[in-house]
Chain A
């Protein structure tokens, strides 16, 4: 009896060991499967990327020469410009990289060495050249019968350059020249054969848009906002839909929600809103038609709700390097030219709080970019007002002559606000000023136990209104309409004690019910 009991124990033990072993085995099998599956099969195919033209300078075809040998079709012009600009772009990337990058296809065998020797001289001297071309005015001279040779002059090419020695900037410069260019079509690519610099010719005819009746538009007379012939006192709110704030505004755009919100804003007594154009969502230099249609929808809804709109451009764009000048110029031109006649627009705010970027980027670069964008904005849309929404009043006096009115934000104490306004009034003497963003969070939770409350927010708003009235009826836009369920990390920092307060700046709760402060604007 004892013998077979022992045998049964031995069998039990054997089974247990087998069980453990098979468990271990299936565990390893699963781990093995985890490590050897789940790859996205489409990544197997690595094709040379035909990235949408990342470099989009202004290209304008001047009238061709009378006898160009053969008439050139628009399709071919597009092909030639495509390869010409791409060639220059690859050249600039090669300067950055210090070695030729994808350069071979865009230069003929005889001209290729010429393009290389500057790259090697600069590399030898440990210098890095940042260069970009921003304007091209092409006059066609010759186009061969078999469509293989083209000669044209690139007039008044605007070049911007910055030279760095192990990433300290030596200088930044700008030059305008003419280039006589000959290109050959070979192996499917238009290749640069001759590229001769000439003295720049006289100013080219940049087409001036006709002025139109601006009665329906807000204008500034004697530093006062005027609309329909009488004074207009902007009183507005910064607007994001409750569900889709910040970067979801455009990607998850829904016109019904916009219409509902605008009616609510109107009922609360506001007459202005401020919206944001995300630079990346509008795909940098090549703005898709879909986004322009969405912006148009916002503006028409605003007009129906009798609200004026301050459109803030270049949101979430933190790149002030030269290679970003051309795409920002193109996005500016596409949007401004498209909506230059739209009555609902009060003003274009060219950059939200650029002075915050002074910390992360060299101040000169940020200023150089602003100096570059301001005149171009005026050129693309002479009808609407232009401003820049500075984060602090002390910086708001920068570029005060180029902007139509000076805007600043204030999240500091009330006395800072009054001091800031006084300082600013002295610096900009009589120019109109607008408080574009102010507000306080009603958040009270573990991260800020004695934090804000609705009463504190209401009293703060009343105080601000009083100060602004004393300082000469300064127009204002509060931040912001709704409380949000989540705030992206790069707005106010990624730590919970920074993000949570950011979610409760609204004057309406998450479900849309008004807080005490909401009733102050009637």
Chain B
């Protein structure tokens, strides 16, 4: 009665191990989530029963993700390390999945087809994508357990055998422990339809009239009510009990509740890249087999699975149609990622595709084809699906070669060495531009990072348009409830954040202007930035404790679920693979219907090629708009060859053009990214057009909107741009010589691991705050002022201000961000301005920021009016970034402040910042402002600037501070009296309208300083 197992299953298992095993070795680093799971596994290796994880964010409970897959990786890692752990767990579960598909298929198709289904499952595109692109191990755990559980559930409801119940429950237990989402949604889409089909089989669906079946069905349900009352409550108990801490704690763990923008919710027509990534690739070959699958599903017996399959397909289309949004409800829609529905749909389709292949290779379709197109034609038609399946498997595994999903792999050993030497791990660090490899770094060290990689958001690159380092939504913006990037950099002592490992040049200007300095470039090309004067982490870090019994539950129950599964399978191993039910034959799809598949495949082919061809025929020169759009796009991506091809013929040669552009540095040229452009036609002439193009650029520091005029010439139907004029000024001296101050501080003179000796710690340079005012500017409060470094050593200065209300209760404290120069030479005077921010995106209304916003600012909500303030300035000796050879020329201040910034030194200034200070007639500071120049200044070159006068009329002075409000290096300023000879100011110019004075100094960021 029971037949032997089909040999194809064995072949499929071997194929899976060989194919996936070898591919995974290479792809492990390239996936999105593999490293996140490895990091969690590393947590269990270090502290199995303590769910609080210190290393990410400022600590979060690890009970926010079902643990089994991570705990298994941790167990295997004791044998051969974390990657070996991930590797073995993935392969083990993959084989269990293949077996699951085989046994699930036997419910719908004959044994032989089930064998073919198992073979196809090895190369099914959704599985390959989940492992080799997403690296989502828990999903594989979930689906493989579900597949194995379904036949047991089916058998239990057919034969009410105790053995079946035990196996079903033990497998479902493992599903809950590893991927609870699969169990919960699996309940609706898999388990209920399977039970329905089991009852249908009991009733016998073929012969009786429709009504009879429905009536018998309901009768049967009541007859088997006892089984329902046993099965479902037990499953519910399993779901709640095995991962009880997850349900208990997920309600109030803010880290996990970030609604991440996800491609699977876009409309796949508008955002073609999401369409491909979340619909076409997961379905892959089964997309072409849809007619066959639908035909075999919509039979009387398989109708329930058919309904579930069509619902999954509908949900999988994400935002393309409003239906999924209605079905799931707005809230759930924005939390769930919908690609899992497509994934489940593709798994349901596998048995029927296996059935198709069996009939194509051995069955009636083969006979039909041989009859119609002859043996030779048959072999040809056979080769098409097989080649397609082969191509699909190979393409997806090497997907990252076509379109890189991660920045190139970073060698993390130099970073680990840096973190472990000289107690660098007593501070927090952060990585920029690492993508998901950050999790691999965290897994190797105990140092704490302020950032985390909990939801890798599967950042989808716009496949068609943008190269890798431009993955737009991958720029680090900050973390909800903890702080924005700008806040991390400005008040780093609040987070004890001292080191940043930067792999993306984009962030350099922000880091420099918020007071960070370049420490060293490691030999893997990563630049280490450091913020001086940040206190180290206290020995006692806060943690949210969890009752002891929950910790033990979390560490023990999931593993017991896994081991019970092992025991159950071993005890029933002989009967496990055999099918005790009569073989199903599904003849819904008649061979002569094959033409539907061919037509459908052609349709799909035409649909895709449309996009591809549209891109190909596109010729920019057809109209001025497309010409200009294309020109600016080429400039944005530095495709200078294409840009040059759009120029009208002129004296400018290509080499000269390349030279002029590549030498151009500056905030816009090297760090800017084009947002959008708008074109305004000025004058129209026959065959000639004068336009002004307004373009918006995002740079790390500001958003610029620039207008530059263009003249376009039309020659026989094609439009060309007149090439731009370039700066003609020549530097007078070819060779420059200048004496430069070279500084070096030894740090620890005695090479020991002990904390720095008292003698080796240089005194903190003494500062003197000249004047400061608390000013109300519109709804915000701002503190402006000026300070001098009266010591004999250059100083890195941190200026912190505390605001108090009339009850002398401290309201807020914040540091100076961009509007100051953090490095001060001896006797130099530096202005500062401090605005007050609250932790970013704390309020529920603030949504997760989609794009990097350079001017991210969360104003502090003043419930009480500030009446007084204290300034706490502190300094440490500095020996970097002291370039002062930039000055201001031909400066005039009437309606606007205009002038030229001249660089009379030896280095090119990538981003010059003008710090303008305006004084009251009594010489005390009234307003301070900053302005970033767009272009770099080469030695002996000039850049014109014109900026708005200060909004003094709109500001109101609330309080001007006296000496007792100033504290220098923790000591009150009243007790430090610098020995001034005279306090006359000879470095400020009277304002033309007579009231007060003003002064401008330049803070210059050198992109690549000549290391002297």
Q: Which residues of A does B touch, CB under 8 Å?
A: 6, 9-10, 13-14, 17-18, 21-22, 24-26, 28-30, 32-49, 71, 73, 75-76, 79, 101-105, 109, 146-147, 185-188, 289-290
Q: How far is the CB of A61 from chain B (nearest CB, A)?
A: 17
Beta-carbon contact of A43 and B210 below 8 Å: no
Contacts of B971 in A (CB 8 A): 73, 75-76, 147
Within 8 Å of chain A (Cβ to Cβ): is B865? no
Within 8 Å of chain A (Cβ to Cβ): is B521? no
Beta-carbon contact of B254 and A40 below 8 Å: yes
8 other A-B residue contacts (CB within 8 Å) besides A40-B252, A73-B971 = A35-B247, A36-B335, A40-B254, A43-B254, A45-B58, A45-B839, A102-B539, A186-B758
Are A105 and B538 CB-contacts (below 8 A) given A28-B184, A33-B332, A41-B844? Answer: yes
Beta-carbon contact of B184 and A32 below 8 Å: yes
Specify which of A13, A17, A42, A147 is in contact with B481 (CB 8 Å cutoff). Answer: A42
| Complex CA–CA separation, A73 to B253 (angstroms) | 45
| Complex CA–CA separation, A180 to B971 (angstroms) | 24
**B58 to chain A: closest residue by CB:** A46
Contacts of A29 in B (CB 8 A): 327-329, 331-333, 336
Contacts of A185 in B (CB 8 A): 970
Are A18 and B307 CB-contacts (below 8 A) given A35-B247, A41-B844? Answer: yes
**B64 to chain A: closest residue by CB:** A36
Are A36 and B311 CB-contacts (below 8 A) given A30-B331, A46-B542, A109-B755? Answer: no
Beta-carbon contact of B250 and A47 below 8 Å: no
Most A CB contacts (10 A, CB to CB) among B58, B250, B308, B328 go to: B328
Contacts of A79 in B (CB 8 A): 970
Are A37 and B58 CB-contacts (below 8 A) given A25-B327, A29-B328, A104-B539? Answer: no
Between-chain CB contacts (< 8 Å), 10 pairs: A9-B210, A21-B188, A26-B328, A30-B332, A43-B544, A44-B480, A45-B483, A47-B58, A73-B974, A147-B971
**A290 to chain B: closest residue by CB:** B807
Q: How far is the CB of A124 from chain B (nearest CB, A)?
A: 23
| Complex CA–CA separation, A195 to B251 (angstroms) | 49
Beta-carbon contact of B184 and A46 below 8 Å: no
**Total number of B residues with any Cβ neighbor in A under 8 Å:** 66
Contacts of B328 in A (CB 8 A): 25-26, 29
Beta-carbon contact of B481 and A41 below 8 Å: yes
Are A32 and B335 CB-contacts (below 8 A) given A21-B188, A37-B257, A40-B254? Answer: yes
| Complex CA–CA separation, A13 to B541 (angstroms) | 60
Q: How far is the CB of B114 from chain A (nearest CB, A)?
A: 26
Contacts of A13 in B (CB 8 A): 214
Beta-carbon contact of B188 and A39 below 8 Å: no
Within 8 Å of chain A (Cβ to Cβ): is B747? no
| Complex CA–CA separation, A109 to B187 (angstroms) | 60
**B540 to chain A: closest residue by CB:** A102
Q: How far is the CB of B918 from chain A (nearest CB, A)?
A: 31
| Complex CA–CA separation, A10 to B758 (angstroms) | 88
Within 8 Å of chain A (Cβ to Cβ): is B482? yes
Q: How far is the CB of B137 from chain A (nearest CB, A)?
A: 21
Beta-carbon contact of B257 and A36 below 8 Å: yes
The 10 closest A-B pairs by CB, nearest first: A29-B332, A41-B481, A44-B481, A102-B540, A39-B254, A33-B331, A29-B328, A44-B254, A46-B58, A104-B539
**B328 to chain A: closest residue by CB:** A29
Specify which of B59, B307, B335 is in contact with A14 (CB 8 Å cutoff). Answer: B307
| Complex CA–CA separation, A186 to B970 (angstroms) | 12
| Complex CA–CA separation, A29 to B327 (angstroms) | 9
Beta-carbon contact of A39 and B975 below 8 Å: no
| Complex CA–CA separation, A41 to B307 (angstroms) | 40
Contacts of A101 in B (CB 8 A): 540
Beta-carbon contact of A43 and B252 below 8 Å: yes
Contacts of A109 in B (CB 8 A): 754-755
Q: How far is the CB of B601 from chain A (nearest CB, A)?
A: 28
Q: How far is the CB of B520 from chain A (nearest CB, A)?
A: 24
Within 8 Å of chain A (Cβ to Cβ): is B385? no
Within 8 Å of chain A (Cβ to Cβ): is B494? yes
Within 8 Å of chain A (Cβ to Cβ): is B536? yes
| Complex CA–CA separation, A187 to B541 (angstroms) | 17
Beta-carbon contact of A44 and B58 below 8 Å: yes
Contacts of A9 in B (CB 8 A): 210-211
| Complex CA–CA separation, A42 to B92 (angstroms) | 41
Q: How far is the CB of A23 from chain B (nearest CB, A)?
A: 10
| Complex CA–CA separation, A40 to B481 (angstroms) | 9
| Complex CA–CA separation, A73 to B963 (angstroms) | 14
Beta-carbon contact of A45 and B967 below 8 Å: no
| Complex CA–CA separation, A13 to B842 (angstroms) | 48
Which residues of chain B from 556 to 597 have a CB within 8 Å of any chain A CB?
A: none
Within 8 Å of chain A (Cβ to Cβ): is B467? no
Most B CB contacts (10 A, CB to CB) among A38, A48, A79, A147 go to: A48
Beta-carbon contact of B327 and A26 below 8 Å: yes
| 0/1 string, B756-788, CB within 8 A of A gives 1 | 001000010000000000000000000000000
**A10 to chain B: closest residue by CB:** B210
| 0/1 string, B954-988, CB within 8 A of A gives 1 | 00000000000001001110110000000000000
Contacts of A73 in B (CB 8 A): 971-972, 974-975
Contacts of B479 in A (CB 8 A): 44
Which residues of chain B from 601 to 636 have a CB within 8 Å of any chain A CB?
A: none
Beta-carbon contact of A187 and B535 below 8 Å: yes
Contacts of B974 in A (CB 8 A): 73
Beta-carbon contact of A24 and B188 below 8 Å: yes
Are A289 and B807 CB-contacts (below 8 A) given A29-B329, A45-B482, A75-B972? Answer: yes
Contacts of A39 in B (CB 8 A): 251-254, 257
Beta-carbon contact of B536 and A37 below 8 Å: no
| Complex CA–CA separation, A62 to B209 (angstroms) | 104
Contacts of A49 in B (CB 8 A): 542
| Complex CA–CA separation, A40 to B480 (angstroms) | 11
| Complex CA–CA separation, A339 to B118 (angstroms) | 87
| 0/1 string, B305-320, CB within 8 A of A gives 1 | 0011001000000000
Within 8 Å of chain A (Cβ to Cβ): is B304? yes
| Complex CA–CA separation, A47 to B540 (angstroms) | 11
Within 8 Å of chain A (Cβ to Cβ): is B76? no
| Complex CA–CA separation, A75 to B870 (angstroms) | 13
Are A48 and B541 CB-contacts (below 8 A) given A28-B188, A32-B335? Answer: yes
Are A21 and B307 CB-contacts (below 8 A) given A44-B481, A73-B971, A79-B970? Answer: yes
Specify which of A33, A46, A188 is in contact with B59 (CB 8 Å cutoff). Answer: A46
Within 8 Å of chain A (Cβ to Cβ): is B657? no
Q: How far is the CB of A6 from chain B (nearest CB, A)?
A: 5
